[in-house]
């Protein structure tokens, strides 16, 4: 199948006001796309749109909360009214939290699932009729390495990305009859404001220092993959190494992760053991 050209393609990009979403907006505009960029932060969204317009292409904006059904409907109506249809839906918006599951409240899980899974599914549901009439149409899910290998202290986030991966794989088969391709990308650790924008950030070990790929580099590779029609792509070397090891030696990876967590909590565990011994010696 021939390479997909993004020049002239009508695209929705969610979560476009920062990080990978902002990079995708600028890069898609540079490639001549017609972009409807959406996010909650209207001021920041307009700044990114202004920057993207200087690269070429056409960029329109619409603010909205993806967990709100009325806002999702407005986004779909906007792309139809402004561009006359839709060729590519990029589901990029997402939130996260860190900290062990047992210490968090139920609201954290529900909020992450609402944004990372339910909102994505429902926006996609609304977009499918337009995509079926689009020009070489496709859906792109921005997932995570955590959607293939769960990460400690990121349990709810990992769960949401696993759910999204299952939805993606099923949807790819379902929409094949309609000639709508479904792609997914696993960016890995990317330089962005993701950690600063988390619902809660209670992890004892930060991954920020390991974020080597910039949002711009990430966006270039993501859109290259869409043009090359790659169904699933892992972007970083660290991500590829983790998934490779998890497939070949899952028990080894489990032990390494468990050992790392125990090391982080070694002082608390020792204190609990000492307290237990003190109680039994009385």
- Catalytic residues, which ones? 157
Distance, CA of 205 to chain centre? 21
| Cα separation, 192 vs 154, whole angstroms | 17
Beta bridge partners of residue 216, listed in sequence order: none
SS3 state of residue 237: helix
* Residue 178 and residue 193 in contact, taking contact as beta carbons nearer than 8 Å: no
Instruction: Give the burial string for 261-277 (b: 16+ CB within 10 Å, else e).
Output: eeeeeeeeeeeeeeeee
CA angle, residues 142, 168, 207, in degrees to nearest 5: 35
Q: How far is CA 85 from the centre of its chain?
A: 24
Q: CA-to-CA distance for 77 and 92, rounded, in angstroms?
A: 19
Plot region of 195 (φ>0 → left; ψ -120 to 50 → alpha; else → beta): alpha
- What Cα–Cα distance (Å) separates residue 53 from each residue in 33, 109, 131, 220, 258? 11, 37, 24, 17, 47
């Amino acid at each position: 199948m021939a390479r997909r050209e993004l020049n002239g393609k009508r695209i929705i990009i969610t979560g476009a006001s920062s990080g990978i979403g902002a990079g995708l907006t600028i890069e898609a505009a540079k490639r001549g796309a017609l972009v409807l960029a959406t996010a909650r932060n209207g001021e920041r969204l307009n700044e990114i749109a202004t920057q993207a317009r200087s690269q070429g292409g056409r960029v329109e904006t619409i603010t909205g909360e993806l967990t709100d059904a009325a806002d999702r409907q407005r986004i779909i109506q906007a792309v139809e009214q402004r561009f006359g249809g839709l060729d590519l839906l990029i589901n990029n918006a997402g939130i996260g939290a860190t900290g062990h599951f047992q210490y968090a409240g139920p609201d954290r899980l529900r909020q992450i699932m609402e944004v990372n899974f339910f909102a994505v599914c429902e926006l996609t549901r609304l977009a499918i009729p337009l995509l079926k009439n689009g020009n070489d149409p496709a859906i792109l899910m921005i997932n995570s390495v955590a959607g293939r290998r769960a990460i400690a202290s990121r349990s709810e986030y990992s769960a949401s990305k696993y759910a999204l991966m299952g939805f993606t794989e099923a949807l790819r088969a379902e929409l094949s009859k309609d000639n709508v391709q479904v792609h997914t990308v696993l960016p890995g650790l990317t330089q962005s404001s993701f950690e600063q924008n988390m619902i809660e950030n209670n992890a004892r070990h930060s991954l920020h220092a390991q974020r080597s790929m910039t949002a711009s580099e990430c966006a270039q590779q993501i859109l290259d993959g869409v043009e090359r029609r790659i169904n699933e792509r892992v972007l970083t070397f660290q991500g590829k190494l983790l998934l490779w090891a998890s497939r070949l030696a899952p028990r080894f990876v489990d032990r390494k992760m468990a050992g790392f967590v125990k090391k982080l909590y070694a002082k608390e565990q020792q204190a609990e053991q000492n307290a237990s011994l003190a109680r039994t010696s009385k």
